[in-house]
Structure 1
């Protein structure tokens, strides 16, 4: 059972006891992502994620790495458009040490100027690496088409121009605005040792915001249809097509996931079978859903040789038109529901998955459904809800991004 304890300062501790395992996963979730950055701050959320690993008042970056390696643990972090998470997975009896190190990073990072300069170059290389991979870059430039005047359309990694301006003062100012008690959730799952929850509350339950916190306001940005073509000397052309969709709290969310699986979410999907298996037009073809607190997107990606690009796009269009005009079959829906239930339950085999699910649910929904409740919601997906989403999503004008040879 998932339980939540709210500290005096507003920090929420969400915990789930899993007694039959020998590991524990703990994550510090912060309601701060790239969409809440100002234009001149683009990339600073991700940069801060890097910098929290670069040394505290009592630990060097090397010592942080060595302490986790010494106990056979894993430590990492990620930044999304809406959230940042710092997490670790260790043996159950090392949970106290893991949360102590994460808290030290969270509260006592020094942001030494020499480390900022060194990590600035590391992140710049990460940006270059992303741009060098057209199958990644095409999705990035697609968001720029969809939301050209909003932070959602800007890259999480930032740009070289903004990265060059980051300094200790900017980092501390951003954290003072966003790394506040009401924006923090500590998620822990696994074999909880005695005293661990009290330790977490001791570490996180008393810090205060340095000034009035900035609420992460939803902007409900308008979706823009359009097309961008980026000429690159590549062997293949990469195309990404996106339609405006629903937000993560929409009642049809599970239906959306099922529809995605039917269209291009797995190997038995319409796109995979018709594009790759029947016609051999592409090696890589798939679709996915992106859902945020206020908006969402349904995206299709494929890559093919320059000579095959027109045929690939034509077949994608034909597949979507067939779904718009004829809908999906009962068999496809039942298969999608069973696949969803299987992937959901199997995806919860490890403590890290539970920690991620609980942290996300607390930040976004403020509630926690049991496994049986989720399975019931999946079972309740109907042809009517699928048809409703087809009408709402696939009949809209899409945004398109293409990267490939001239």
Structure 2
């Protein structure tokens, strides 16, 4: 059972006690990310995430790292399009200590100018790494063209230009307007009890409630195309289709459809593009859901001289998928794969902590694993067919990274 407590300032605390384990996972989740940025501060969410590890009034960056190493724990963070998370996994006896360190980072980070300049260099190298990785770059380009200047299409890392402009005051202003109590969920899963909730309440009850920044507008899908010239051995293709939000009823059929199309080694894309035609080593599809939109992505990489063939093969596979539908065997296999993945995630305290937090941030409520499995199990062949027709009969977006930098004639 998941227990929830909402503090007077709006901070939500979730606790799932799992007596059979000896670890505890703790996550401070903030409902802000790239989609809440603009052209001038793109990358600030990710930059703040890095800076919270660079020292507080009482701990240096080394102190923070050693604090978790000395107890055999793990600490990390990530930034996504709509959330930022700071999390730790420790032995149950160290849970209170971990919460105190995370809270210190959250409230008391110093944002020293010299540390910021050093971190700009670090993230600058991270940007270069992505630009040197064509199968990452092609996905960033697809997001950019599909969301057409909306922040959902911005790169999470930001750009060299925006990165250069960050200063301590700007980071503090952004945190004041986006790191607000009503956007914070603290999720705990593992061998823990109400004592940890009381500890969190003590640490976060004085968190001042201020007016949150305005949320960004609903994006519209843009069926555009973009090609980038890059000296690579392979050509990389991404196709994008307008998908569904986290709240859409059609999300479950789309998950089943996507898994049949490109979710694994038995999928249509893998079997037809790789196994039968030998056109690609890596070919797959996946769906990204946001609070008010979604994007279905299909990816394939092939030799530069075969890019036209791969483009045609991808579209042929999609057209056959829509025309022929799926079999009962494919339907049941897809459901089993999705449900298995969901259930396997419950075996990790990190997985449970993250699932509970995301349900609270996205849905505003608990959704049990049984409810989720029931939604998947209820999907029919007809549901998948209707979803495929709706998704694939709309115009698509396309991104290319290749030595020629030219769009394939087949796309």
2: distance between equivalents of 1:94 and 1:253? Answer: 39
The normalised TM-score by structure 2 is 0.97
SS at match of 1:301: strand
TM-superposed deviation, 1:194: 5.5
Once residues 185 and 125 of structure 1 are traced to their aligned partners in structure 2, the CA distance between those partners, rounded to angstroms, is 31
C-alpha deviation, 1:185, in angstroms: 0.4
Distance 2:294 2:57 in 1: 41
Q: Judge which range, 117-126 or 339-348, deviates more.
A: 339-348
| SS of residue paired to 1:39 | coil
2: CA distance between counterparts of 1:174 and 1:122?
A: 21
Partner of 2:243: 245
- What are the superposed Cα offsets for residues 55-95 of structure 1, whole Å, 9 maximum, x if unpaired? 00000000000010011111000001100000000001110
Is the partner of 1:75 in helix, strand or coil? strand
Q: Match for residue 381 of structure 1?
A: 379
Answering whether residue 211 of structure 2 is matched by residue 212 of structure 1, we say: yes
Give the aligned partner of residue 408 of structure 2.
Answer: none
State the shift of 1:101 in Å. Answer: 0.3
Equivalent-residue separation in structure 1 for 2:223 and 2:93 (angstroms): 53
Q: Check the 8 A contact 1:8/1:206 in 2, yes or no.
A: no
Tell me, yes or no, if the aligned pair for 2:231 and 2:403 is still in contact at 8 Å. yes
- Tell me, yes or no, if the aligned pair for 1:31 and 1:216 is still in contact at 8 Å: no
Structure 2: which 5+ residue stretches go unaligned? 405-411
The residue that corresponds to 1:32 in the other structure is 32
Offset at 1:216?
A: 2.7
Cα distance per residue 1:71-130 (max 9 Å; x no partner)? 111100000110000000000111001110000000000001110111111011111111
How far the C-alpha of 1:131 sits from its partner, in A, is 0.6
Q: 1: distance between equivalents of 2:211 and 2:246?
A: 28
Find the counterpart in structure 2 of residue 224 from structure 1.
222
Task: Decide whether the 8 Å contact of 2:17 with 2:193 is kept in 1.
Answer: no
Q: Residues 244-297 of structure 1, C-alpha deviation per residue, up to 9 Å, x if partnerless?
A: 111111112121111111000111000000111111110000000011001101
Spell out, residue by residue over 1:189-247, the C-alpha distance to the aligned partner (whole angstroms, 9 max, x if none): 000046211001111122113x4222434x22111112111011100001111001111
Structure-to-structure mapping, 1:151-162, within 5 angstroms = 151-162=151-162
| Matches for 1:178-197 after TM superposition, within 5 Å | 178-193=178-193, 195-197=195-197
Q: Is the 8 A contact 1:2 1:15 kept in 2?
A: yes
Deviations 1:17-59, CA, capped at 9 Å, x for gaps: 1110000000000011111012111000000000000000000
CA–CA separation in structure 2 for the residues paired with 1:66 and 1:145: 42
TM-score by length of 1: 0.98
Give, in angstroms, the shift of residue 149 of structure 1: 2.1
Question: Residues 10 and 205 of structure 1 are in contact (CA less than 8 Å); yes or no, is this contact kept in structure 2?
Answer: no
Structure 1 runs of 4+ aligned residues shifted over 3 Å read none
Q: Which residue of 2 aligns with 1:115?
A: 115
How many Å apart are 1:371 and its aligned residue?
2.0
Residue-by-residue CA offset, 1:157-206 (whole Å, 9 max, x unaligned): 00000000000000000000000110100000000046211001111122
DSSP-derived class of the 2:103 partner: helix
Could you tell me which residue of structure 2 aligns to residue 359 of structure 1?
357
CA RMSD of aligned residues (A): 1.0
Task: Describe how 1:226-305 pairs up with structure 2 within 5 A.
Answer: 226-305=224-303
The residue number in structure 1 matching 2:61 is 61
Matched, 1:172 2:177: no
Specify the alignment match of 2:78 in structure 1: 78
How many residues were matched structurally? 404
The equivalent of 2:409 in structure 1 is none
In structure 1, list runs of 5 or more residues that go unmatched: none
Matched, 1:404 2:402: yes
